[in-house]
Amino acid sequence: MSIHRIRQGDTLSALAARYKTSVSELARVNKIANPDLIYAGRTLRIPGHDGRDTFEPARGRGAHGGSGTRGSGGAGRSGGSQGGGQVQGSRGAGSPGQATAAMRRLADAGRAAAMSIGGYNSQGLCATGVSKAIQNAFGFKVWGNGNQIDNNLPRDKFKQVNMSLEEALKIPGLVLTWEKTSTRAGSIYGHTAITTGDGRSSVSDFIERNTLGAGGRTGLKIFMPTM
């Protein structure tokens, strides 16, 4: 039996594969009622694994039960997760060290796509920029406009997470989608972007320096790469 400290981006299914066990066994040993709900910073007991993971267990905190809430999150608060045990909205999630390699790769691809299309000026091609970034980062294309990309993201590669925009902007490599914006085109096509992790900006067909200050956007959804 060994201990694994849950970090941002972990899923029970990925951990089960890593330690050559099953999701049901991890859930049983750790008394997890809902395998789709785990929290970053807490610990998991790994059955049948005689080594110790490279991450130290969280002090004074044991493996969680499955009764945590799916809160909206925010700075310094914990949220839950949706689907596959994906971590979301947890304390300290804004730290760059919490991002997975896939998330960092998508953030870097997003910046490159934005600079290649509009730089710091919108060209009205937000979905083109996000799709180009996803293709360059992961090798597949996602079709649709700003308010359609959320339905076209492959669910085996992205999980919707529940957190505030303020918290999401502190994490690199999240996909943001809005159903509508205040512009005429945005009221029809919505908007989409990728977070850079600096707490302010996001990228699509251009680099938006202050996403928090962009008013009139509704229907926000946030997605995290799980690859």
Domain residue spans of the chain: 1-93, 98-225
Distance CA 201, CA 24 (A): 40
1-93 with 98-225: one CATH topology? no
pLDDT of residue 49: 55
Phi, psi of 26 (to 5 degrees): -60, -45
Task: Estimate the crossing angle of helix 101-117 against helix 126-138, to 10 degrees.
Answer: 140
Conformation bin of residue 162: beta by default, left when phi > 0, alpha when psi is -120 to 50: beta
One digit per residue, the tens of pLDDT, for the chain of length 227 reads 678 888 877 788 788 878 888 888 888 888 887 777 787 778 888 886 554 433 333 333 333 333 332 333 333 333 333 333 444 443 334 444 468 999 999 999 999 999 999 999 999 999 999 999 999 999 999 999 998 999 999 999 999 998 999 999 999 999 999 999 998 888 999 999 999 999 999 999 999 999 999 889 999 999 999 98
Residue 69: exposed, middle, or buried by beta-carbon count in 10 A (0-12, 13-18, 19+)? exposed
CATH class of 1-93: alpha beta
- Sign for the CA dihedral angle at 142, 147, 153, 159 comes to positive
The conformation of residue 210, written as its DSSP 8-state character, comes to -
In degrees, rounded to 5, the angle at the alpha carbon of residue 86 between the alpha carbons of residues 56 and 108 is 85
What type of residue sits at position 7? R
CATH class of 98-225: alpha beta
Distance CA 70, CA 81 (A): 6
150 contact partners, CB below 8 Å, separation of at least 6: 160, 175, 177, 192, 221, 223
| 200, two tokens | 């302010």
Q: List C-alpha distances in Å: 45 to 3, 4, 27, 129.
A: 5, 7, 10, 42
pLDDT of residue 131: 96
